[in-house]
Amino acid sequence: LVVDDHEVNRLLVTRLLESWGCRYAEAESGPAALDRLHVAASEGDPYRVVIMDMLMPGMDGAGLGAAIKADPVLTSTILIMMTSLAERGDANRFRSLGFSAYITKPLRQSQLFDTLAMVLADGHAEPASGSVRFVTRHRVSEARKRRARILLAEDSKTNQLVAIKMLEKLGYKADAVANGKEAIESLRTIPYELVLMDVQMPEMDGFEATRRIRDAASGVLNSQIPIIAMTAHAMAGDRERCLGMGMNDYVSKPISPVVLAAALERWLPSEGDMGFGAEKRLVDKTAAAVAIQDSSIFDKEGMLGRLMHDEELACSVLETFLEDMPLQIATLRSFIEAGMTADAERQAHTIKGAAANVGGEALRSAAAAVEQAAASGRIDTLASAPSELEAHFETLRETLAAYLNALKQAAGGVP
């Protein structure tokens, strides 16, 4: 059961659940969720998991969770909290309320998949009893790293050692080979999930190895495996050349642990990616991936990453967002005009979360400022806030409309 007062947030979660073959239902509030839970229990088909937002009007997520755990009929239900207001002590607080997991928004599909896998594996034991481990973003990340199988193709023994130790410190393990030919041989027998490929190697360099790996006739287990190039050149155009040769990403030597960690996080697949095809994880080079020049308005890559590069899902989410956001801003305006500070803060938070989900960075930032002002009780300073948000939304709307048009044209639809 997915519980969130915002339709876009529910859509994001339910589309993921649908893609994984899960049965699901939605509720827009705490009371509605309790009604659904009781009906399902009375019919002998209870919900096993409830995924809920923290900040909802009336009964918030903490209140809903407490009500579920206090009800003898519902107490065995597994609870997962989603929140964008992460604060110190939240994990202990939610665990004490009976939650099994606590994840932050904007939501990543791999994060949700791994969280569900963990809480379902732990079963119905009470989290507060200490018999199971409480699932947090950190635990999900560490488990994902331990499962990852990485192949390092690097001819220098020294560079191999440095890279292997760096990966170990980041929580990963890797196997090393000395050239592209050995990399291909390894990929034919071992199901690696990612390749770190040096560009300059003897016998077969990284570019030629990548070209052969991408050939469906190469005999490798996954011809679309993510490949991250490593090069000492760091020259203008290197990244474009690597991507043009079929690589997915690029890091320059000497490799920064921070840069490497970010690249691995971007490209390491999780079980939740299954069923969408490896091509969904590649850098999109089609006309549908229309270039967005200003990511401060629309962070297209961030949005697509959260949606598994699923263009059909992107269309659904963006269309829902464009239809819903004017209503959300109008609601904020009414709260501000009525001097309802707490409601204005909550509404600004809703707008901020929706904008973050679709990559509307300027709108998200503006909504965050309104939220902070309302939280400080400065309602008198907010008279112009709705108009400012409307201006940001209009700019974003024009950008999203162009993007949606490109997606539909590429799919053969009618603009």
pLDDT confidence of residue 301: 81
Task: For the sheet with 227-231, list strands across it.
Answer: 174-177, 150-153, 194-198, 227-231, 249-252
pLDDT of residue 254: 81
Greater model confidence, 413 or 275: 413
- Compute the distance between CA of residue 415 and CA of residue 413 in angstroms, rounded to an integer: 6
For residue 138, what pLDDT band results from cuts at 50, 70 and 90? low
What are the chain's domains? 2-136 (3.40.50.2300), 149-267 (3.40.50.2300), 300-410 (1.20.120)
Q: Which pLDDT tens digit goes with each residue over 37-77?
A: 999 999 999 999 999 999 899 999 999 999 999 999 999 99
Q: How many CB atoms lie within 10 A of CB 158?
A: 8
Reply yes or no on whether the pLDDT at 372 is more than 50. Answer: yes
Strand, helix or coil at 71? coil
pLDDT attached to residue 77 = 95
| Of 168 and 73, more confident | 73
pLDDT tens sequence across 208-253? 999 999 998 999 999 999 999 998 765 556 777 888 889 999 888 8
Ramachandran bin of 38, using left for φ above 0, alpha for ψ from -120 to 50, beta for the remaining angles: alpha
Query: Does 256 have pLDDT greater than 90?
Result: no
Is the pLDDT at 128 greater than 60? The verdict is no
pLDDT of residue 123: 59
Predicted confidence at residue 106, as pLDDT, reads 76
Picking from 176, 194, 175, 205, the residue whose alpha carbon sits closest to that of residue 260 is: 194
pLDDT at 184: 97
* Dihedral of alpha carbons 267, 231, 192, 145, sign: negative
213 token code pair = 């790996």
Average pLDDT, rounded, for the chain: 83
- Per-residue pLDDT band for 150 (boundaries 50, 70, 90) equals very high
Q: What is the CA radius of gyration of the chain?
A: 23
User: What is the residue type of 74?
Assistant: L
The tens digit of pLDDT for each residue in 373-406 reads 998 888 777 888 999 999 999 999 988 988 888 8
Range 324-350 average pLDDT: 92
Q: How many CB atoms lie within 10 A of CB 109?
A: 23
pLDDT for position 186: 96
User: Looking at 59-63, 125-129, 191-195, 335-339, which range is the least confident one?
Assistant: 125-129
pLDDT band at 159; cut points 50, 70, 90: confident
Amino acid present at 134: F
| Residue 294 pLDDT greater than 60, yes or no | no
pLDDT of 262-272, one tens digit each? 888 888 865 44
Higher pLDDT, 202 or 290: 202
